[in-house]
Chains A and B, each alone.
Chain A
């Protein structure tokens, strides 16, 4: 096979058996082909084995793009921007065909013009660039710390965080616990459609986020499409929001509560429930201690309680997604009965919490004897708390030495609206 001495971005002429073909070489993960952009704009692949010779017409030179930050406008409020990765921070490099993270801080003014039109972006921080599935609690801490720094700046009205969607709910919950005594808005947002397409949902999400970051609500909020249309967004409480669809724009739903507000891209905000009011003089307290040895387990019929032995060995706390109002098999004889093992492991120090597998609705251990038995065994029933929020909260509570001995009380203390004692009809359809 001919040796091919060109690389992505180069303009080349390739000699094939019957003809010559000219184009720009693009990046591809496929090992057996050369991907070429033709003059017509179409990309085609050529099997490497069919290339008899090649010549570079023009070597690729990385263009130095200069991005200028827009001038500050005194009439606009200032916001801080934290970029962490995800679809909303990925762009296609047209020269080489690869998908890369936005890197240059100046690039954000080009890719997120919606924020810059509404507010002055006083600071941009990129603590890391990761898809959300690659994050861990250290990353939550980094984001929380960056938030603290920005919120301490008296000129900054609020913070906007862009983030991948898949595990955005976890980060939102983590920030809800780690940023105590908030005086300003902290807004997380996302995109489900990539930012290089004209239909990207990032556009409206960013506009509404900018408005929310300048608003009166001093909460950790997730802002995103309220419906499949581009008409309004919802701001949803960070501890009570969950990704409920793999691909729709309005993937996030406020669970067991109504959204905090409805926001239109022109800046109109309609508050839908009580919220914590802005107080710029209040200094945020960073409270980011975290215990990583916590886990989330989903119960299914036939699951053997033996699995608890593993968790007890490796973890300090466990959230189990239980059925219905809060049940596990407790009346079976022998190995299928969960009670003996639960009792044993809780006695030796494992914290076991229960959250609802149904996502919507509240656990109630008092209705059936099954729940009462689990409660007697020491399982902490977390009412209407989301399982993912419960996991994050458990790590956060266990991370605090001061809470030792008070874990049950702390898990059931409402720190950030994660518990709602008065669920209404709204939000479930």
Chain B
């Protein structure tokens, strides 16, 4: 690819990023939970033409298309409420989601609107049971620092995510209601991006800020669109980036494509889909501005000085800041990456270091590496392991280390014991009995009382050793000796 002179071609580029929040749903008190099990029921609905109003475009074509369609919505008895079914007015805005959004707006140096109205943005593809998406402006006129200077943030809005499409077949489109209503933060930059590398850098930077707090992780939880045009060409919106690494190539290829357009006297903009090889494909024309009207079922949203101050006091740390902090403890790069992979882990690390600051490497391994290994080995779920080996449990273990009741070298073994169901206090008490010594004891017992069953020997061993041994190990040895 030739070197592109971005200022000469008059590149205008901006980003629009949507990030799902890890809180309850925005307008109902149901969990933001995507499900793959069989839905409990389906509901069928149609959308109909709404009397158009002067100056506000309802794309007639889109409407016509929607009129004839049947929309099927899949729901669950326990996690879908009447709000998602469009059978009840929205409940008040989720306070956690609001707080998170205020924090993001503050991290982006935005001004916060003291009074804002929740709006209905007309959506007639059936992805919202109501026929609209609720959205509210939170912040405006901020910036993010990049290597090429400040990139302006036009707006930060809080929206509800749409229902998830399951299948589309002729006149029937099937959606699942689980995603409908999950809070989404939408950040839009001004068209300040200077080149392809800058687009990528800014996207990563914004991603880091959006994910500093309670953000959902995984495929589909962040959606990044790039708006791009060169001088003389209409705006093109590129959607569906799976990987920011592809942004440079995609942006450059789009510039080339627009240059080719101009040579052929074409300049139409449009919405294009990013494919994995950096090529984009045409999806649809740029839609007219959606009709927006107020959500009359809810009060105006007021964000007071104290809400903003509360948020300021609790601003999450960015990953880069956390990394700098971890560096001070002299951790290895590898261990730092493991700890930083999970926002909770680095917090736990900091808390546990306050309990025992004698060995940062040990504490780091406890919250990350060892817990991960034990999860894998036990076949248990991550959440379960975090429950059994949570912050409080790790704290108890470290307190034992601090008071010299437990050796550092025993910590991993104790964690394993606790996960296998042994009480922490017991696990800490267990002295390391040499395996050979134990095997000798077992041989002696079997010799003294031959012909008993495995469990009977186990009982005798445990009684003799009084909880000083790992029962699993003992069982293995009993079996081993009996099988000889």
- Determine how close the nearest CB of chain B comes to the CB of A220; give it in whole angstroms: 27
- Determine how close the nearest CB of chain A comes to the CB of B208; give it in whole angstroms: 26
Does A33 interact with chain B (Cβ within 8 Å)?
yes
Interface size class of A (residues with CB under 8 A): 35 or more
Residues of A within 8 A of B115 (CB): 30, 33, 35, 44-47
Residues of B within 8 A of A33 (CB): 115, 300
Cα A129 to Cα B36 with chains together (Å): 48
Does B278 interact with chain A (Cβ within 8 Å)?
no
- Determine how close the nearest CB of chain A comes to the CB of B265; give it in whole angstroms: 31
Cα A94 to Cα B55 with chains together (Å): 10
Query: B290 touching A41 by the CB < 8 A rule?
Result: yes
Residues of B within 8 A of A199 (CB): 45, 47, 86, 129-131
Q: Which residue of chain A is the closest to B129 with respect to CB atoms?
A: A199
Query: A193 touching B117 by the CB < 8 A rule?
Result: no
Residues of B within 8 A of A229 (CB): 43-45
Does A215 interact with chain B (Cβ within 8 Å)?
no
- Determine how close the nearest CB of chain A comes to the CB of B296; give it in whole angstroms: 6
Residues of A within 8 A of B294 (CB): 26, 43, 92, 97
Residues of B within 8 A of A130 (CB): none
Query: B300 touching A28 by the CB < 8 A rule?
Result: yes
Query: B117 touching A43 by the CB < 8 A rule?
Result: yes
- Determine how close the nearest CB of chain B comes to the CB of A239; give it in whole angstroms: 27
Query: B46 touching A248 by the CB < 8 A rule?
Result: no
Cα A41 to Cα B45 with chains together (Å): 27
Q: Which residue of chain A is the closest to B128 with respect to CB atoms?
A: A199
- State the total of A-B contacts with C-beta under 8 angstroms: 115
Q: Which residue of chain A is the closest to B87 with respect to CB atoms?
A: A248
Residues of A within 8 A of B78 (CB): none
Does B282 interact with chain A (Cβ within 8 Å)?
no
Cα A230 to Cα B172 with chains together (Å): 14
Query: B51 touching A110 by the CB < 8 A rule?
Result: yes
Query: B120 touching A197 by the CB < 8 A rule?
Result: yes
Cα A123 to Cα B290 with chains together (Å): 36
Tell me which residues from 186 to 219 in chain A have a Cβ below 8 Å from any Cβ of chain B: 193-194, 196-200, 203-204
Query: B46 touching A249 by the CB < 8 A rule?
Result: no
Partner of B117, one of A44, A47, A110: A44
Q: Which residue of chain A is the closest to B75 with respect to CB atoms?
A: A228
Residues of A within 8 A of B157 (CB): 42
Residues of A within 8 A of B137 (CB): 38, 40, 42, 44
Partner of A196, one of B50, B119, B292, B302: B50
Cα A92 to Cα B120 with chains together (Å): 12
Does B441 interact with chain A (Cβ within 8 Å)?
no
Cα A184 to Cα B134 with chains together (Å): 44
Tell me which residues from 99 to 120 in chain A have a Cβ below 8 Å from any Cβ of chain B: 99, 110-111, 113-114
Cα A114 to Cα B53 with chains together (Å): 18
Partner of A198, one of B43, B53, B131: B131
Query: A41 touching B131 by the CB < 8 A rule?
Result: no
Query: B46 touching A193 by the CB < 8 A rule?
Result: no
Q: Mark B35-70, 1 if CB is under 8 A from A, else 0.
A: 000000001111111110111100000000010000
Tell me which residues from 243 to 292 in chain A have a Cβ below 8 Å from any Cβ of chain B: 246-249
Does A154 interact with chain B (Cβ within 8 Å)?
no
Residues of A within 8 A of B452 (CB): none
Query: A35 touching B48 by the CB < 8 A rule?
Result: no
Does A302 interact with chain B (Cβ within 8 Å)?
no
Does B109 interact with chain A (Cβ within 8 Å)?
no
Query: B43 touching A228 by the CB < 8 A rule?
Result: yes
Cα A139 to Cα B401 with chains together (Å): 82
Residues of A within 8 A of B87 (CB): 228, 247-249
Does B329 interact with chain A (Cβ within 8 Å)?
no
Chain A interface mostly: loop
Cα A230 to Cα B71 with chains together (Å): 10
Q: Which residue of chain B is the closest to A94 with respect to CB atoms?
A: B53
- Determine how close the nearest CB of chain B comes to the CB of A391; give it in whole angstroms: 28
**Contact A99:B113 (CB < 8 A) given known A229-B43, A230-B46, A248-B87:** no
- Determine how close the nearest CB of chain B comes to the CB of A398; give it in whole angstroms: 39
Q: Mark B65-95, 1 if CB is under 8 A from A, else 0.
A: 0100000000000000010011111000000
- Determine how close the nearest CB of chain B comes to the CB of A100; give it in whole angstroms: 12
Partner of A45, one of B116, B130, B155: B116
- Determine how close the nearest CB of chain B comes to the CB of A249; give it in whole angstroms: 6
Residues of A within 8 A of B131 (CB): 197-199
Does B132 interact with chain A (Cβ within 8 Å)?
yes
Partner of B293, one of A45, A94, A247, A248: A94
Does A63 interact with chain B (Cβ within 8 Å)?
yes
Query: A92 touching B121 by the CB < 8 A rule?
Result: no
Query: B56 touching A94 by the CB < 8 A rule?
Result: yes
Q: Which residue of chain B is the closest to A21 with respect to CB atoms?
A: B140
- Determine how close the nearest CB of chain A comes to the CB of B259; give it in whole angstroms: 31
Does A231 interact with chain B (Cβ within 8 Å)?
yes
Cα A41 to Cα B120 with chains together (Å): 10
Does B414 interact with chain A (Cβ within 8 Å)?
no
Query: A35 touching B117 by the CB < 8 A rule?
Result: yes
Does B258 interact with chain A (Cβ within 8 Å)?
no
Does B195 interact with chain A (Cβ within 8 Å)?
no
**Contact A40:B46 (CB < 8 A) given known A247-B88, A247-B89, A248-B82:** no
**Contact A41:B119 (CB < 8 A) given known A92-B294, A193-B86, A248-B82:** yes
Q: Which residue of chain B is the closest to A245 with respect to CB atoms?
A: B87
**Contact A42:B119 (CB < 8 A) given known A92-B293, A94-B53:** yes
Cα A42 to Cα B158 with chains together (Å): 12
Does B20 interact with chain A (Cβ within 8 Å)?
no
Residues of A within 8 A of B88 (CB): 246-248
Does B289 interact with chain A (Cβ within 8 Å)?
yes
Residues of A within 8 A of B89 (CB): 247
**Contact A41:B296 (CB < 8 A) given known A229-B43, A248-B87, A249-B87:** no
- Determine how close the nearest CB of chain A comes to the CB of B380; give it in whole angstroms: 40
**Contact A247:B113 (CB < 8 A) given known A198-B48, A198-B131:** no
Query: A41 touching B43 by the CB < 8 A rule?
Result: no
Partner of A99, one of B45, B120, B121, B296: B296
Q: Mark A12-43, 1 if CB is under 8 A from B, else 0.
A: 00000000000000101010010100101111
- Determine how close the nearest CB of chain B comes to the CB of A139; give it in whole angstroms: 25
Q: Mark B286-309, 1 if CB is under 8 A from A, else 0.
A: 000111111010001010000000
Q: Mark B204-241, 1 if CB is under 8 A from A, else 0.
A: 00000000000000000000000000000000000000
Residues of B within 8 A of A63 (CB): 54
Cα A351 to Cα B120 with chains together (Å): 52
Q: Which residue of chain A is the closest to B299 with respect to CB atoms?
A: A30
Partner of A197, one of B82, B130, B289: B130
16 contacts between A and B (CB under 8 A): A35-B300, A43-B117, A43-B119, A43-B292, A45-B114, A45-B302, A47-B115, A91-B51, A92-B293, A113-B49, A193-B130, A197-B120, A198-B47, A198-B66, A228-B43, A228-B87
18 further contact pairs, Cβ within 8 A, besides A42-B157, A198-B66, A198-B130: A26-B294, A38-B137, A40-B292, A42-B119, A42-B292, A44-B113, A44-B115, A65-B54, A94-B55, A94-B56, A194-B296, A197-B132, A198-B124, A199-B45, A199-B131, A203-B46, A228-B87, A229-B43
The 3 closest A-B pairs by CB, nearest first: A45-B115, A198-B131, A41-B292
A residues whose Cβ falls under 8 Å from a Cβ of B: 26, 28, 30, 33, 35, 38, 40-47, 63, 65, 91-92, 94, 97, 99, 110-111, 113-114, 193-194, 196-200, 203-204, 228-231, 246-249
